[in-house]
Amino acid sequence: MNQLQIIKEENIASHIYFLRGHNVILDFDLASLYGVETRILKQAVKRNLKRFPDDFMFRLSENEIDFVVSQNVIPSKRYLGGAIPFAFKEQGVAMLSGVLNSDKAIQVNITIMRAFVQLRKLISTHKDLVEKLNQFEKKYDEQFAMVFEALRQIIQKESEPRKRIGYKDFDEK
């Protein structure tokens, strides 16, 4: 890895956000990870826009920007300098490796892809656990009904999105 700084998957995981039902990384976080200015990254994307369809990347709406600010992902809207951030889904991040072709960009992309895979594994672990619980319940029937119900409640609580702390969107009730 010569003089490349190794980036840990745990550090990348802290930059993955859940927006519009997808795990995404915002352009300014990617730029920071790649060691380039955000405007350079955006410029490269705009020059290769055909590589980034809507299912790879999207621009944040005003409400989403407010949400990101309220969650302290960024300190304020001024941090963006008037630019609307891009949110890159997993495929969009993979496509960036073809657009930003430096050794560091390649290494960062590999690490990001691994972080996305770990996230998917974590999500599927909950599904496997629920399936095994159902199998045990059928096998042992009423003997452990209360235990199974308690376990189900714990799993459901962990898989539900946590209540946000801070200001709520206008759309929320």
pLDDT tens digit sequence for 29-81: 888 888 888 898 999 999 999 989 999 999 999 888 888 888 766 777 777 77
Bigger pLDDT: 62 vs 2: 62
Percentage of the chain with pLDDT > 90? Answer: 12
Instruction: Give me the pLDDT at residue 108, please.
Output: 79
Average pLDDT of every residue of the chain: 75
pLDDT at 1 over 60: no
CB of 86 closer than 8 Å to CB of 57: yes
The mean per-residue pLDDT over the stretch 144-170 comes to: 63
pLDDT digits (tens, 9 = 90+) for 90-114: 888 888 877 877 777 777 778 887 8
CB of 25 closer than 8 Å to CB of 88: yes
Among 76, 55, 56, smallest CA distance to 66 is for 76
The mean per-residue pLDDT over the stretch 2-26 comes to: 70
Bigger pLDDT: 27 vs 10: 27
Bigger pLDDT: 121 vs 8: 121
Question: What is the distance between the alpha carbons of residues 35 and 82, in angstroms, rounded to a whole number?
Answer: 21
Instruction: Give me the pLDDT at residue 83, please.
Output: 84
Q: What domains does the chain contain, in order, with CATH numbers? A: 9-123 (3.10.260)
CB of 117 closer than 8 Å to CB of 94: no
The continuous run of DSSP H or E covering 87 comes out as strand 86-88
